[in-house]
Amino acid sequence: MSRFTGTLGRIDRVTWLVAGIGVVAFVMRVGGLEVRAMHHDESLHATYSWYLAEGRGYQHNPLMHGPVQFHLMALFYTLFGDSEAVSRWPHALFGTALIFTPLLLRKWLGGSGTVLAALLLAVSPATLYYSRFAREDAFIALFTVLQFIAIWRYRDDGRERWLLVFAAATALAFATKESAYLTAAVLLLYLNGATAHELFWQSHRGERVPLVAQVRSAMILVPVAWIIAALWRPLWRVRERHGMLNRPREADLLVVTGTLVLPLLAAVVRIPAEALAGDLDLAALRRLGIMTVLVLWVAAAAVGLLWDARRWPLVAAIFLLCTVPLYTTFGTNMEGIAGPWWTSLDYWLEQHDVRRGDQPWFYYVMMLPLYESLALWPALAGGAWLVLRRRDAFATLLAVWFGGTFIALSIAGEKMPWLVMHQAIPLAFLAAYVLGKAGPAALTAVREQRGSRVQWAAGGIGVTFLVLAFALALHTNLQLNVKHPDTPVEPLIYVQTTSEVPEIARDLRAGLEAGDIPRVVVDTSSSLTWPWAWYLRGLNVTYVPAEEIRTGRALETGDLVVVHHGTITSAQPLRLDFESTRVYGHRHWFPEAGYRGTTFGSLARGILDGSILQRWAHFLVYRGDDVPIGKLWGEVFYPPLELR
């Protein structure tokens, strides 16, 4: 009885600690959400969500990723009204929900590891910053965590509910952001390897197999493990001959993942089709898409039903029930059904070579130490020890999650600062697992006064590093979210709308609503439309190309005009039609010329002479306060008072 009570007490303490961290994390995520100016992307998401809330409908556009974000933001506008803070509330809530996910892995993380994971997620600078940002990253981050949790929990207990959780999380991840394709690739490779591992040891049960033989067998088994999983029953004679009698749970997960993802890959067929037949017109693409999707669904259903005729229909139904209503806006836009099966992947395959952001190959090698040192170094050092020396299966999953995500995002054409968040999360889990194992052992050694002087010195250095890294994480968060939340003096902020835009917008909105300003005309060059479309939503605003403003064709008497600075030069007579002007900063960005110009030679020289370490230390302390940021200027033309 006493042991039972003690167990309950242990669970309660850990749960209460995580809950306390969650409350603090919630306050950190929702406080001052209205302070930062709306970023270009935020204003796009907010405006189209507002259209949906206003009854104008929604059409999926892969440029802005999946429909989950738009439906959630529209729901919040309907419930609480439209504002900058409300726009970011769903993201803050999902970012807070992340803090509680370690409780689902408590059995493996342990009590201390669970609390540490919650703490690391709470104070991760990238995770905190983009949990306060109206982008889809907080949503897909939670869905991705649930995918990995469901995989591990099903491997542990084989319960059907984890397959259903996995199906729902996978569907919602794909309906949120196309980076889900990269996650799916990581999962499929991991599950294929895990299946091959289980099958190998089944066929060599009780034997001692030399390492060379293990490697040789792996080279044969890994390429065909997915075939064995998919055709488990038809291949029974082959399996029996090799001693593969029991279907591994990893094979179940491999089949479920593969059959759900397979139809989503239909757009890949366009590559060989156009290589053989040349560019296809829209009608031909439509026929090709429909035929390919149907064929892939039939193939997926055949494999799924062959696997389990009762469970696969449930898994597929959950996936479809999460996917179809979102892309069709609950049946009001049936054309959106093409989104998950064709449009999304087709668009982003084309964007790979565009390389938006155009960051160097070492971008995340630079970003992770700058922002995620608290989790990065314990995860790398301790994770390598657990995986390579201890052959720890749970650590292997976490290491594959981080390593696969890091490699996939580094290869992908578009490298952006918000993608640091998706690497920071597996790092937090892995670091917490490492520290959760090392911490109790270290405390026991301290109590029993065991260990050599070298071990005590190493332990002291490790504790000191963690304390300093924790202080650095808090300092970074203070700078990012309090001191300069919309001033890009460091690379995580990247490009940001200036604080002048919402200030001017308040005056323009007041003038339009009062009738003092009959109309505002905005120049669409240099993407000046955003975020004005959000700030001046629902008002008499017209967006036209610069040439139509410059020639006066689009203007009417009394118009207030917002243009890219230089659109109307001082020599043009059009300036005489306005009483006054104001030049303002529209958006500004972190200067990237320094690190973009890095080569292997300059990197080696910088390491040898200590200049890189010096610059790195200076940035960690001052966070780029002395950085000369770039800026795009706009100009507001005010008409004479008598014409307003």
DSSP letter for each residue of 187-219: HHHHHHHHHHHHHHHHHTTT----HHHHHHHHH
Q: Is the pLDDT of residue 1 over 50?
A: no
Lowest mean pLDDT among 378-382, 485-489, 515-519: 485-489
Position 6 scores a pLDDT of 43
Look at residue 256 and tell me if it is in a domain: yes
Position 296 scores a pLDDT of 97
DSSP SS3 for 365: helix
On whether both 93 and 194 belong to a single domain, the answer is yes
On whether both 209 and 116 belong to a single domain, the answer is yes
Position 482 scores a pLDDT of 87
On whether both 422 and 551 belong to a single domain, the answer is no
pLDDT digits (tens, 9 = 90+) for 290-318: 999 999 999 999 999 999 999 999 999 99
Question: What is the C-alpha to C-alpha distance for residues 287 and 348, in angstroms, rounded to an integer?
Answer: 20
Position 280 scores a pLDDT of 85
Task: Give 270's contacts (C-beta < 8 A, 6+ positions apart).
Answer: 280, 285, 288, 346, 349
Domains identified in the chain, total number: 2
Question: What is the C-alpha to C-alpha distance for residues 496 and 488, in angstroms, rounded to an integer?
Answer: 6
Look at residue 404 and tell me if it is in a domain: yes
Look up residue 485 and give its amino acid.
P
Q: Is the pLDDT of residue 4 over 60?
A: no
Q: How confident is the model at residue 625 (pLDDT cuts 50, 70, 90)?
A: low
pLDDT digits (tens, 9 = 90+) for 568-604: 888 888 888 898 999 999 999 998 877 777 777 787 7
Position 454 scores a pLDDT of 65
Structural contact between residues 576 and 639, judged by C-beta atoms closer than 8 angstroms: no
Position 602 scores a pLDDT of 80
On whether both 127 and 259 belong to a single domain, the answer is yes
Position 449 scores a pLDDT of 65
Look at residue 276 and tell me if it is in a domain: yes
The two structure tokens encoding residue 391: 């052959």
Question: What is the C-alpha to C-alpha distance for residues 118 and 67, in angstroms, rounded to an integer?
Answer: 28
Q: How confident is the model at residue 458 (pLDDT cuts 50, 70, 90)?
A: low
Q: Is the pLDDT of residue 225 over 70?
A: yes
Q: Is the pLDDT of residue 360 over 90?
A: no
Of 378, 412, 428, the last residue of a domain is 428
Lowest mean pLDDT among 184-188, 243-247, 282-286, 440-444: 440-444
Q: Is the pLDDT of residue 483 over 80?
A: yes
In angstroms, what CA-CA distances link 293 with 270, 283, 338, 566? 12, 15, 10, 50
Question: What is the C-alpha to C-alpha distance for residues 122 and 144, in angstroms, rounded to an integer?
Answer: 17
Question: What is the C-alpha to C-alpha distance for residues 21 and 33, in angstroms, rounded to an integer?
Answer: 20
Q: Is the pLDDT of residue 619 over 70?
A: yes
**Domain membership of residue 512 as a residue range:** 498-591+627-643
Position 485 scores a pLDDT of 86
On whether both 422 and 520 belong to a single domain, the answer is no
Position 356 scores a pLDDT of 64
Look at residue 270 and tell me if it is in a domain: yes
Q: Is the pLDDT of residue 60 over 70?
A: yes
Q: How confident is the model at residue 452 (pLDDT cuts 50, 70, 90)?
A: low
On whether both 387 and 530 belong to a single domain, the answer is no
Lowest mean pLDDT among 118-127, 344-353, 619-628: 619-628
Question: What is the C-alpha to C-alpha distance for residues 522 and 542, in angstroms, rounded to an integer?
Answer: 6
On whether both 411 and 526 belong to a single domain, the answer is no
Percent share of the chain, pLDDT over 90: 68
Position 524 scores a pLDDT of 94
Look at residue 123 and tell me if it is in a domain: yes
Instruction: Give the residue-averaged pLDDT of 164-190.
Output: 97
On whether both 185 and 324 belong to a single domain, the answer is yes
- Dihedral sign of CA atoms 230, 234, 238, 243 in order: positive
Structural contact between residues 86 and 133, judged by C-beta atoms closer than 8 angstroms: no
On whether both 253 and 400 belong to a single domain, the answer is yes
On whether both 198 and 285 belong to a single domain, the answer is yes
Position 569 scores a pLDDT of 87
Look at residue 283 and tell me if it is in a domain: yes
Q: What is the average pLDDT value for the chain, to the nearest integer?
A: 90
Nearest 5°: CA angle at 137, between 419 and 633? 75
Percent share of the chain, pLDDT over 70: 93
Look at residue 631 and tell me if it is in a domain: yes
On whether both 289 and 177 belong to a single domain, the answer is yes
Of 428, 443, 469, the last residue of a domain is 428
Look at residue 375 and tell me if it is in a domain: yes
Position 46 scores a pLDDT of 98
Q: How confident is the model at residue 217 (pLDDT cuts 50, 70, 90)?
A: confident
Element (DSSP H or E) covering residue 632: strand 630-638
Q: How confident is the model at residue 386 (pLDDT cuts 50, 70, 90)?
A: very high
Position 361 scores a pLDDT of 86
Of 428, 445, 474, the last residue of a domain is 428
Q: Is the pLDDT of residue 99 over 70?
A: yes
Instruction: Give the residue-averaged pLDDT of 348-377.
Output: 84
pLDDT digits (tens, 9 = 90+) for 491-548: 999 899 999 999 999 999 999 999 999 999 999 999 999 999 999 999 999 999 999 9
On whether both 44 and 193 belong to a single domain, the answer is yes
